[in-house]
Amino acid sequence: MKKTTIFSTTSFFAVSLLALGTIQAFASENERVPPVRDKLVQKECSACHMTFQPTFLPAKSWKKMMSELDNHFGEDASLDAETAKKIENYLVANAGRRIWRDGWGTPPQRITELRWFKSEHRGEVSPRAMKKAGTMANCKACHQRADQGDYDDD
Ligand code: HEC
Ligand code: HEC
């Protein structure tokens, strides 16, 4: 019995370390991500927050989000069907591929709730910075060049 416990603790540890390694590798991969160059996406998705880079969410997340724009985090961000479709195509074509797997449930709608994101920011954000940003979705408050896809701060 005792042996089993020790064994499972060890393998739990190994798995955690592995997961942590993946998360860290993913975070540094995200120091620089391709900025949004599509004019339509820039125009329609920057009124209320910066235009988030599509690589931060998987394709299924963008599809879900674009089908529910009338209730977008409590706001009405509706667009005509043609515009929405064009934007969706861009987001899906540039979506992240390694952040999330089918079978993990509902596609995530928040970048800020992804595991790598939480892990990268845990213990890193001072209360002062948090107060200034207001919300973790306000990337630009802390990463000055966030809208250029640059999260590699000095
Ligand atoms: C009418 C205002 C408005 C428009 C237009 C808008 N959004 Fe948002 N969006 C919000 C609000 C409000 C939130 C929630 C912010 C928060 O909780 O801090 C949000 C959050 C998000 C998030 C999640 C951020 C996180 O927490 O990780 C994504 C992704 C997003 N929006 C994408 C889009 C895309 C893509 C478009 C263009 C199709 C768009 N938004 C247009 C208001 C808007
Ligand atoms: C309240 C401040 C704050 C907000 C808001 C914030 N971050 Fe960060 N972020 C940090 C700090 C501090 C770090 C860790 C130090 C560093 O590496 O720059 C970090 C690290 C990162 C990293 C890893 C960079 C690296 O060098 O490995 C990425 C990528 C990142 N943030 C993306 C985002 C995105 C995307 C958003 C918005 C959805 C966001 N952050 C919002 C403060 C913030």
State residue 103's pLDDT score.
Answer: 72
State residue 146's pLDDT score.
Answer: 97
Helix, strand, or coil (residue 2): helix
- What are 38-93's pLDDT values in tens digits? 999 999 999 999 999 999 999 999 999 999 999 999 999 999 999 999 999 999 99
State residue 18's pLDDT score.
Answer: 58
Tokens of 112: 């800020």
Return the sign of the alpha-carbon dihedral for residues 139, 48, 65, 86.
negative
The whole-angstrom separation of Cα 26 and Cα 137 is 19
Nearest CA to 29 out of 154, 151, 147 is that of 151
Ligand nearest to the CA of 89: 1
The burial of 82, by beta-carbon neighbours within 10 Å (0-12 exposed, 13-18 middle, 19 or more buried), is given as exposed
Closest atom, ligand 1, to C-alpha of 112: 27
Closest atom, ligand 2, to C-alpha of 112: 38
Using the predicted structure, report yes or no on whether residue 3 has a pLDDT greater than 50. Answer: no
Average pLDDT on 117-128 reads 94
With a 6 Å cutoff on the Cβ, whether 152 touches ligand 2 is yes
Q: How confident is the model at residue 8 (pLDDT cuts 50, 70, 90)?
A: low
